[in-house]
Amino acid sequence: MAESPLWSGKKRAIFGLPWTFTRYTLTETCLFIRSGVLNVREEEIRLYRVLDVTLRQTLGERLFGLGTIHLCTNDQSTPEVDVKRIKHPKEVRTLLSDRAEIERSAKLEGMREMLGQASSVGTEDHGH
């Protein structure tokens, strides 16, 4: 995780207190989810794979300024991801959605450039 984080937060427990061992870190290209104490698990979700971002808030979460962001991805190992009970969920949802769009556009542009170079290699005129 060499990139500096754009946002980081913790999953919150009852009353919005950070008494859990799940930490979220968003960089320009990835979302990292680290959970556990003795047995640690870290997931990496590349933002260009995020297809849909949805904010969900129960009444209890709204009372404590929390929310859960649900991500649908085209990743085979993690097709759906929940960023659970975080503070400032609307701002985080917007940030995640915007970064995912930027990363998808950059990925598409890179693919177009590669395809353009590959197709122009066979059609170059060598003065014959």
Task: Please give the biggest Cα pair distance in the chain.
Answer: 76
Residue 113 — pLDDT band, cuts 50, 70, 90? confident
Give pLDDT, residue 119: 64
> How would you label 25-53 residue by residue, b for 16+ Cβ within 10 Å and e otherwise?
bbbeebbbbeeeeeeeeeeebebbbbeeb
Considering the chain, what is the average pLDDT of its residues? Answer: 89
Helix (H) or strand (E) holding 10: strand 7-10
pTM of the complete model: 0.81
Q: What are phi and psi of 42, to 5 degrees?
A: -125, 125
Q: How do residues 65-111 score in pLDDT, each as one tens digit?
A: 999 999 999 988 889 999 999 999 999 999 999 999 999 999 988 88
Give pLDDT, residue 86: 95
- As a CATH number, domain 7-113 is 2.30.29.30
Give pLDDT, residue 126: 54
> Among 23-32, 44-53, 75-84, 105-114, where is mean pLDDT lowest?
105-114
With H, G, I as helix, E, B as strand and everything else as coil, classify residue 66: strand
